[in-house]
Amino acid sequence: MNINLKNLPPAGVCFSVAVLAIVFLWALFPGVFAAGALEQDVNSGSLPAFSNGHIFGTDALGRDVFKLMIAGARSAIIGPLVIALGSLVIGLAAGSIAGFRGGIIDWIISRYTDLTLALPSMLLAIVAAGVIGGGYWVSVAVLIVLYSPYDIRLVRSAVMAEKSKNYIEAAFVLRISTARILIKHIFPNIAVIVFVNFFLNIAYALVAMSALSFLGVGVSPAAADWGRQLSDARAIIFENPAASLSVGLAIIITSISINVAGSYITERRTLDS
């Protein structure tokens, strides 16, 4: 079989896809790759890397850092995916109505997005999660609300740009319904920019969720989570610096891989269309 090397993705994209495949496997099957990740052994606490079979050492409670990182992949991936999807649904619904209908509805939605975007999102997320009571899914819900204005504004602008084109005016003349115009004609033409923003939201949400957990308002102290793990590792940074570096690199590499893979997929989609 002949392989056209020009059609193969670059090495960076292959690496990013490989990273995401590993992280998703960890998230789907934590019991297979990280059995006993939460088991504590205080007598073996704060061991440095490569001690007694622990590739990244242990934390202050004697838990294997690498296994704990694998177990934390589930919360690192599921939450950001839900946030990106929730924000996308709200953005498509509200942005389409604002951009297509205009008028008072557009004014109300636009003022809401302006107000939300003017506020410091992370500070607002910390305050909101703290007031409501914290917790993983509370943080997810708060971030969906805070991320959706970006999608609303993006979709609104794209819909307004498409609405002014001749093929949309022709659809109006033919008395095609608004829903069909949006679904059949406008959405396919704005899918690329929405798709790019979706991947960006996943990466941003991963970092935001980790930050909230790091500050103590994301997950419970006993949960396996990258942000919580990074926070706990501060206490033993001199005894086992690998405990901080490993999970910090996991957050950085995973978020970058999401952006790289998303950009490549979007670029290929654009070229193919």
| Per-residue pLDDT in tens (0 to 9) along the chain, 273 residues | 344 555 657 888 899 999 999 999 999 998 899 888 888 888 888 889 998 888 999 998 899 999 999 999 999 999 999 999 999 999 999 999 998 888 899 999 999 999 888 888 888 888 887 777 778 888 899 999 999 999 999 999 988 888 877 777 787 777 777 788 888 878 888 888 888 899 999 999 999 999 998 988 878 777 889 999 999 999 899 999 999 999 999 999 999 999 998 888 877 766 555
Please count the structural domains in the chain.
Answer: 1
> What is d(CA 5, CA 8) in angstroms, rounded to the nearest whole number?
5
203 assigned to some structural domain: yes
Does the pTM of the predicted model rise above 0.85? yes
Q: What angle do CA 146, 216, 132 make, to 5 degrees?
A: 50
96 assigned to some structural domain: yes
- On whether the CB atoms of residues 51 and 242 are closer than 8 A, the answer is no
12 assigned to some structural domain: no
Residue 100 structural domain: 73-223
145 assigned to some structural domain: yes
Within 8 A by CB and 6+ apart from 138, the residues are 129, 132
> What is d(CA 69, CA 246) in angstroms, rounded to the nearest whole number?
8
241 assigned to some structural domain: no
91 assigned to some structural domain: yes
Bridge partners of residue 58, in order along the sequence = 64
> What is d(CA 27, CA 76) in angstroms, rounded to the nearest whole number?
8
164 assigned to some structural domain: yes
CATH of the domain at 124: 1.10.3720.10
pLDDT in the model for residue 1 = 39
155 assigned to some structural domain: yes
With H, G, I as helix, E, B as strand and everything else as coil, classify residue 54. strand
> What is d(CA 47, CA 68) in angstroms, rounded to the nearest whole number?
14
